[in-house]
Amino acid sequence: MNKNTPANTDDRAGIQSVEVAARLLDAMAAADGPVPLKELADAAGMAASKAHRYLVSMCRTGMMEQDSATGMYNFGRAALAIGLAALGRIDVVAVATRALRGLSDRTGATAVLAVWGEHGPTVIRFEESAQPVRMNVRVGSTLPTARSAIGQIFAAFLPTSIVRSQIISENRHFGGDHDVETFSEILSAVRQRRLNRNVGDYIPGVSAIAAPVFDAQGRLVAVVGLLGHQASLDTSWTGSVAETLDWMARDISEQLGFTGSSVPGNV
């Protein structure tokens, strides 16, 4: 080992004042909006007098700002600029891909990641489980928008102007026509649950359950899904598979900066 390389990074010397300031930033991030000094200090676990000294310097650097009328604190322009720069460097595919293996391991199902492509919902990552499912779905596969669990999530959260032509094209290809009222009810339920499922309807013997991934602006950027044998994959809304998938999708969204304050509808 290089003598200059510490055996444990936690033992490395640091700047304590930076770590204290970070506690105030964390407390501010957890708040719903501007907060008074005492509340911010309590949340950061320090005395108000100590917090005030740090906040004076943080206001000078633009990391925080204080409202002259109310005296309450909020993030400053520098903090906002750093946050926006960090969000711009997050790769949704990289973040979601890292989660797929854990999702597959926890549920025993095949995990997939899909984005909206030129021809509709497109699988871009595929993490096969120890019990592979025999089906013609692989990286690059395009799924039907109106008939698949993943596709219906795109239909529920993307603007109608984007998905309409794809659904019309599918109706012509499959020689059918989706009942508008029924389909609208399906999409409404998808929005309310932020989960969707398909129990052997699209591919006989194969079930799927899927969840949306949103970015910092509340836009749908991907869908994470689980595929498995209809007889063994638990697709119940309150089952462990649904709970794990829902938690994972929400965690990915949070890593992308999504706060949950503005989930889009189908307009």
Instruction: Spell out the domains of the chain, with CATH numbers in brackets.
Output: 9-88 (1.10.10.10), 92-255 (3.30.450.40)
Question: How far apart (Å, rounded) are the C-alpha atoms in residues 81 and 62?
Answer: 10
Model-level pTM? Answer: 0.65
Q: What is the pLDDT along the chain (267 residues), one digit of tens a residue?
A: 444 444 444 556 678 889 999 999 999 988 888 999 999 999 999 999 999 999 999 999 999 999 999 999 999 989 888 876 765 566 788 888 888 989 999 999 999 999 998 788 999 888 887 766 666 677 888 899 988 999 999 999 999 888 888 888 777 654 455 566 678 888 999 999 999 998 877 778 888 999 999 998 899 999 999 998 888 889 999 999 999 999 999 999 998 889 875 555 554
DSSP secondary structure string for all residues of 145-204:
TTTSHHHHHHHHHS-HHHHHHHHHHHHHHHT----HHHHHHHHHHHHHHT-EEEEEEEET
Residue with tokens 């089906």: 135
